Structure 1
C-alpha cells in the first residue's frame, strides 16, 4: 500500500506527501503538532450515512469517525477508490482573542488543500473575544455575496459566518466568494467562520483576516460596498429561522455620492411582541429626522444619495407563542434619471371609492437591472405603490425606463335607491390626474352595483362599439372588457372597441367595466361611455346593434371559452335601416349542445310583423342565411347543458341596399294595369246607365250571359257596334271571383287561418326581446311530445306582405319579395 504523511508545527508548515490527487486505498498518516489548536476529523458525509459500501480503517478495524487532536499521530485507510463520495474532512482551529494577543492579519489555511486527501473539506475557525471589545472580520479578496435558501455558489466554495449571543450560536449568513458587496462583518463577541471547499478545488487561502476590533452594542454590523451600479440581496440573522429576541442588527451601505440607492423588502415576517415594537431604522446623512423609523410593512426609502445605514430591531417576544421575525431585502444602486426630478399630483381627496396602484410589468431578474421605483414625497420609494381613496399624493419616479411600470385603477359606482337611480345616467371617465401620469394606464375598472331584482344597467358608448372576435379582432389602442356577476354565475360578455355597430349594452345585474389600454400612453381622447339605471329585466344581457351598409358585424354569445351560462337568455336587437336589408348568417350548422335538463332554443322574430321562427338548438339545424327587411330580434336561451357540451354561437349580420325582384315588378305592373282597366270600366258603366236609364234589376255579381262569347271572326255575325251593346260592362265585380285562385292551396281548397299555434310574445314590438319558450324539464311520468309549433302567422291588417324570411342556401341566398 502507498502512504502519505501530514505534519506541521505552530511556527511553520512541513509537508511530506506521497499521495496522488485521487486517493487510492492506501495508508494515510496525519500528525497534529502539540499546541497548534487544530483538530482534524474524518467522518461520513451527511448523504452517505445510509451507504456502507466504503469503510474507514483505523487501528485494524472499521470506524465511522477518526479524530486527530493536537500532539497525536494517526494512520488510516479507505476500502474504496472513491472515498470523496462517502467521507468528509473537517479541520477545526481555536483562536483566542480574549485572554491574549489576537493574531491580526490574514488567517492562514492549515493544512493546505494540496496536502490533504481528496475529500470534501471544511475549515472551521472558532475565534473567542470579549463582549466589551468585539471582533471584526475583513474579506479583502472578492467581496462576499449572501446566499438565500436554495441558492448555490458556482465554484462550490462557501463561507458561513456565525456569532454568539449568551453562548448560543447565531448564524449571520452563508456567503459566496464572488460577485458580492459584503466587505466587513463586525460581531459583538466571538465568531465562528466555516470555509467549505469541495474535493476538486485547490484553494490555498482562507479569504479573510482579523482586523482591529472595537466594541459594538448590537449583534453585528455588515458592511456592503458599491463601486457602481448594482444590487445586493441581504437577510437577517438566522434567516429563514427567527431573528434573536430583542436584538439589533445593522447594515452599513457605502454608495458613491453620484448614485442613488433604494431599498425593497422582498420577504418579512413579524413575531408576537410582548414589549416594544419590531421596526427598521434608517440613518441617512443629511436627513433632519435621523434616525427615520419605519414599520416592516411600510414602503421603504428610495432615491437616497450617498452612504446610509439600515438597522433591524427586534422586541421582547411572547414566551408562549414567540413567532418568527425575519427579513429579506434588496438594495438597488443606480444612476439617477431626469424623471426623478419631476413630481406629479394625484388628488383622490374628493373621491371615496377610487384607488390607484402603480407596479412593475415584470418580476425582478437575478442579474442587475436598473430598477423602477415610485416615490412618495421624493423619499419613500417602492417598486409598487397603492394610492388609497380620500387623500392627495405627490409622487415621483426613480426609473430608467418608465415603460416598465404601469398603473391600474378601480372605482366603485353604487346606486341603491330605486326611486332616485331609475333613469339616472353617469359618465364613466378617467380622472385627468391619472391621464397625466408618465406611465401606461393598464386598466381602469368601474364596479357597477344596483339593488337586486330592482334595477338593471345600460351602457351607452359615445361611439358605437365592435365586439372582439377571431374573425374581426380589435386593433384599437384601448378596449372595454364587460362582465357581470351574480351568486354562482359570472358572465363575461367580451371585449369591445370603438368603430363597430353596437349602440348599447343592457346588463341585468351588478357588472364591471374595465378600460384596458395597449399603448404606452393613453391618448387624451378617451372612448366615452355612459351608464344608466333602468327597470329590472330578466335577460342576462341585451345588445342593440345598428349595422352600417356593407359592413359585416360579428357577434358571439357571452362566456365564449366556457359557454353561455345555464338557464340564461341573451338577446340582440338588430336594426335594419329603411331601404336596406340584412342578411343573418351563422358560423356552423349545429350548436353541439347537449341538455342535461331543460331545452335550449333560439327565436328569430320580426319586430314589425310579429313573425317569428323558433329553433331547438339541441335537435335542429341552425337556419341558413336569411334576409330581413325590417328590424328583428335574435334571442338565445340556454338549458342546463351536460358537462363538456357548452352552448356558444357566432353569427354575423350584413346590411346591403334593398333590390326589387323582377317578378315583383311584373306583378306590380300587371296589377296596376288591371286596376286601371277596372276603374275605366266602372266609369263607362256608370255613364251608360245614366244615359239610357235602363233598369237591369238587382245586381247578381255575374257578367251578361246573353252576349255571344265567340271571337268576332266576321262582321256579319256581330251586327251591333261595340258602343251599342253591353258585352263589356260588369254590374258588380266580386273579389272572390277575380282573386279567388290566389287563395287556393296546392290541393285546390281555400286556405283557412292557422289555429292552436304557440305565440310566446304578446307585448308591443320593438322595445322588448321575444320571450323564450319554457325550458322546464318534462315530468318523468308525462309522455314527451313536441310542445312547440313553428308558427307562420296569417296576413294581418296593416301588414306589408309576407313577413317570413325564407331559409336559403348559404352560397346563393334569395331575396324576399316586397
Structure 2
C-alpha cells in the first residue's frame, strides 16, 4: 500500500511540474535611468506581432502595454513573457537643439548603450534643428551607405532612414543599408536620422558624425565615393512619391582618375509645370559648357573621367493637376576599354528610311558586379541603348568591357505608291558598309517592301541561289533570310520561311507587301558578306500569293515546302513552283508523306502538276492521297491551292526534286538510225518518180484545172453533218499536184462579181514554256471530282499533228467561217453551193 501511495505522489508531482512549465514566465527585470538634460526619451511599445497570446510590461506591479521614460527618470520593469522581442520595440529619441545653444558636433554616441537596453528591436532617432541658413552634414565612416528602394531590405537588418524639412513639411531623403558609396549627406535647417538595429545585433556605435556647414541653398547634397569599379543606384527625395515642388537636389560623385563613369536613368516621371522647366544639370570636369543641361528623357552623359555633379531641378507645378516628379538612376564606374578611344562614323545621310539600334543582348542576370556596356554618341551622351536616325551622320564610341554583349538591329523601308513611276524599278538589298564596319555583331537587318494594292507585285532575285531551311536540309550558313508577306486581312500573312545561300531557288515573286529580314547566327558573317544581297523589282501585279523559280542541282536533292509551315497555308491561297529540268536530265518529284490530313469545310484543295512543253496537266484533290513519285523530262509547274479547311486541319506539304541523267538504249538508237535512213531513201525515190511523171503530163496535156462540184454529198448515210474521219485519217487535205490556178467557181466571187482575195493564216509551232503563267487551278468552290490527265493521253481537242510543221490555210473572209475547226477540210459539202450565194 505504501508503494502505491508513493507512485501516485510522483505522478501528481510530474503533472504539476509540467503545468508550471506551460505557465508564462516573467523575463528578468531591467532598469533604465536617463540623466537630466540629456534630451532623450525612451518608448517601449507594441510592435507588429501577430501572435494570439498577449504579453505585458510589468512596472510597479502594474501590467501595461506601453512604457515611456523621459530625461531625468529612472524606471525598473520586466516583461510577462519569455520572448518580448516578438511583442515590443523600443525607440530612443534624442533632440539636438542647435538654435538656442551650441551644437554638439562630432561623432554621435549611442545613448544609452545597447548593453543597457532590453533585447528588443531598437530604433535610435536623432532630431537636429538649426537655423535656415545653417547647413548640417552627416558624415558616415566605413562602411558607407547604399540606398535602397521601397520594398527592399538590408541583409543584416541594419537600416538608416534620413529625412529633412521644408518649412513644416518633412521630406524623406532615403533609406540606406551598409556597404555602399554614400559618404556624406548635407541638408538645410533640420535633419532627422533614424538607425534601426534588430534585437540580435550587438552594435555599439552609430557610425556617423554631425558637422556644421555653410548654407547649401538647396534641399540636400548627397556625396557618393567610388574606390574602384562598381555601381550605385540613387533616388530623388520622397521616392517613389513626388519630388518637392520647385526644389533642387544634388549628387556629388568622386571618381578615381583612371576610371570612367556613366549615368543611366532607370525610371523617371515628370510633373505638370506652370513655371520653369524640370531638368537635370551636370558639372563635368573639363567641359566648356558647364552646367550641361539635359531633359529627363534625353540620353545622359557617359564615359566621364574624374569627379562630377548631377542636380535635379523641379518647377512650379499646376495646382489643379501637379503630377509627380521622380527619378531613379544608376551610376556605373569601370575601367575604360580600347574601344573607348575609337570613334566610328555611321553615315545615314543617304539612307532616308533606315534606322539602326544598338542594344544589349538578352543575358542571364548575375548577382556579381558586371561592368556596363554603353554606346556613346559624340563620346559623351552614353546609354545602354542607342538608336541612330536616318538622314545624318553619327559619331559613336563604346564604353564596354565585352562588345559581344551588344548587337545591332536595323530597319529600312522601300515603298512605291505610284505604280506608274516605279514599274520595273529595282533596288539592291544589302547591308551598308558603315554598319558592317562597327565592332558589334549585326543581329537583324529588315527591309519592309510596300507596293500599291492590286497594281504591282514584287520579285526577289538573290546574289546566290537560295536554299529553303527544312528539317531534311538545315541551313548551316552564318546568315539567312526570313521572308514573309503581309496582308490587309488578319490571319492571311504568309511566312515563306528561312532561306540561305547555296540552294536552287533563283527567284521569289510575291503578290503584295512583304518583309525580308537578314539574320546572322555567327561572327563569321563578316567573312561571308559578299554572299548576301537581294535585288527586288516592282513587276506587274499577279494573283498568285507566291511563285518560286527553282533550278535543281544535279548533285543534291531540293526540298521545298508550303508557306506558313506548321501553321498551315491560309485559306483560299495559291502558291506555285516553276521547276526547270535540264535537257539531259530527268526530274523525280516525290512527296514526303502520302496524305495531307486536310478536311475542307468549303471548296476543294487542289494540286496541279503541269508539263510546260506539252501543257499536259495532272490535277489532284489534296483531301485524298498525294501522288506517287513522278518523272518529268521537261520544265514543269507545281501549283497548290487551298480550300477553307475545318478548324484544326492544316495544309502543309513538303516535297523533294532530284535529277538523274537520261539513259538511251544503244540497240534502239541503232535501229532508229537505220530505219530512218531507209525511209529517207524511199522518200527521195518517190519524189523523183512523181516529178518525172508530172513533167510528162505537162508535155502531153494543157493546164490542169480543178473544178469544185457543190452537189457531191460527202456525208455518210444516216449521219448528217458529222465526219467520221478527222484530217489525219482521211486524205482530203493531201494534193499530189496543184497547178498555179485553181478555180472554185462562185465561192471566190463577191456580190459584185469580183474576185475576193483569200485571207491567209500561218500556224507557227509552240516556241517554249510560258514560265510567267502558272497553271490556273480549278474553282475552289467546286465539289465535282476532277479527272486526272496524263502526258500519255493528249488533252481533248488537241491536234495530233506535229507542232513543227507549218500549214497555210485559205478561206473566205466571212464571220461564220472564223471559228471553224481547222482539222476539217476547207471544202465543206454540208450544204449545196447555192446557199453560199
| TM superposition score category, shorter chain reference | 0.7 to 0.9
Distance apart, 1:683 and its partner CA: 9.9
- The CA deviation string for residues 319-373 of structure 1, in whole angstroms up to 9 with x for no partner, is 1111111111111112222222222222222332111111222467553222222
Distance apart, 1:80 and its partner CA: 4.6
Is residue 640 of structure 2 the alignment partner of residue 636 of structure 1?
A: yes
Is residue 242 of structure 2 the alignment partner of residue 242 of structure 1?
A: yes
Distance apart, 1:640 and its partner CA: 2.8
Alignment of structure 1 residues 472-511 onto 2, 5 Å: 472-487=473-488, 488=490, 489-511=492-514
- The CA deviation string for residues 202-258 of structure 1, in whole angstroms up to 9 with x for no partner, is 222212111232211011000000111221111111111111111100000001122
- 8 Å CA contact 1:415–1:449 kept in 2: the answer is yes
The residue that corresponds to 2:124 in the other structure is: 123
- Structure 1 gaps, min length 5: 1-22, 690-734, 737-762, 779-784, 802-818
Q: Structure 1 residues 593, 207: closer, same or farther in 2, change over 3 A?
A: farther
The residue that corresponds to 2:655 in the other structure is: 651
Q: Distance in 2 between matches of 1:367 and 1:269?
A: 29
Is residue 555 of structure 2 the alignment partner of residue 553 of structure 1?
A: no
Q: Structure 1 residues 88, 684: closer, same or farther in 2, change over 3 A?
A: same
Distance apart, 1:82 and its partner CA: 3.9
The residue that corresponds to 2:758 in the other structure is: none
The residue that corresponds to 2:181 in the other structure is: 181
The residue that corresponds to 1:588 in the other structure is: 593
- 8 Å CA contact 1:38–1:91 kept in 2: the answer is yes
- 8 Å CA contact 2:90–2:121 kept in 1: the answer is yes
| 3-state SS, counterpart of residue 572 of structure 2 | coil
The residue that corresponds to 2:9 in the other structure is: none
| 3-state SS, counterpart of residue 420 of structure 2 | helix
Is residue 275 of structure 2 the alignment partner of residue 275 of structure 1?
A: yes
Q: Distance in 2 between matches of 1:35 and 1:561?
A: 83
The residue that corresponds to 2:311 in the other structure is: 311
- 8 Å CA contact 2:334–2:371 kept in 1: the answer is yes
| 3-state SS, counterpart of residue 356 of structure 1 | strand
TM-score by length of 1: 0.79
- 8 Å CA contact 2:482–2:519 kept in 1: the answer is yes
- 8 Å CA contact 1:374–1:397 kept in 2: the answer is yes
The residue that corresponds to 1:347 in the other structure is: 347
Distance apart, 1:438 and its partner CA: 1.9
The residue that corresponds to 2:750 in the other structure is: none
The residue that corresponds to 2:42 in the other structure is: 40
Distance apart, 1:588 and its partner CA: 2.0
Q: Distance in 2 between matches of 1:110 and 1:465?
A: 81
- Structure 2 gaps, min length 5: 1-23, 691-727, 730-767, 804-837
| 3-state SS, counterpart of residue 53 of structure 2 | coil
Distance apart, 1:63 and its partner CA: 5.0
Alignment of structure 1 residues 787-802 onto 2, 5 Å: 787-792=785-790, 794-795=793-794, 797=799
The residue that corresponds to 1:427 in the other structure is: 428
Q: Distance in 1 between matches of 2:688 and 2:101?
A: 151
Is residue 625 of structure 2 the alignment partner of residue 621 of structure 1?
A: yes
Q: Structure 1 residues 792, 265: closer, same or farther in 2, change over 3 A?
A: same
What's the C-alpha RMSD, in Å, of the aligned pairs?
Answer: 3.1
Distance apart, 1:186 and its partner CA: 0.4
- 8 Å CA contact 2:58–2:80 kept in 1: the answer is no
Distance apart, 1:670 and its partner CA: 6.5
- 8 Å CA contact 1:27–1:75 kept in 2: the answer is no
Q: Distance in 2 between matches of 1:480 and 1:127?
A: 68
**Aligned residue among 540, 545, 548 for 2:545:** 540
How many pairs does the alignment contain?
698
Distance apart, 1:655 and its partner CA: 1.5
| 3-state SS, counterpart of residue 522 of structure 1 | helix
Q: Structure 1 residues 430, 218: closer, same or farther in 2, change over 3 A?
A: same
Q: Structure 1 residues 653, 679: closer, same or farther in 2, change over 3 A?
A: closer
The residue that corresponds to 1:329 in the other structure is: 329
Q: Distance in 2 between matches of 1:429 and 1:638?
A: 34
Is residue 264 of structure 2 the alignment partner of residue 260 of structure 1?
A: no
Q: Distance in 1 between matches of 2:645 and 2:62?
A: 77
Alignment of structure 1 residues 433-444 onto 2, 5 Å: 433-444=434-445
Q: Structure 1 residues 82, 643: closer, same or farther in 2, change over 3 A?
A: farther
Deviates more, 1:432-441 or 1:128-137: 432-441
- 8 Å CA contact 1:483–1:512 kept in 2: the answer is yes
Q: Distance in 1 between matches of 2:287 and 2:433?
A: 34
Deviates more, 1:51-60 or 1:643-652: 51-60
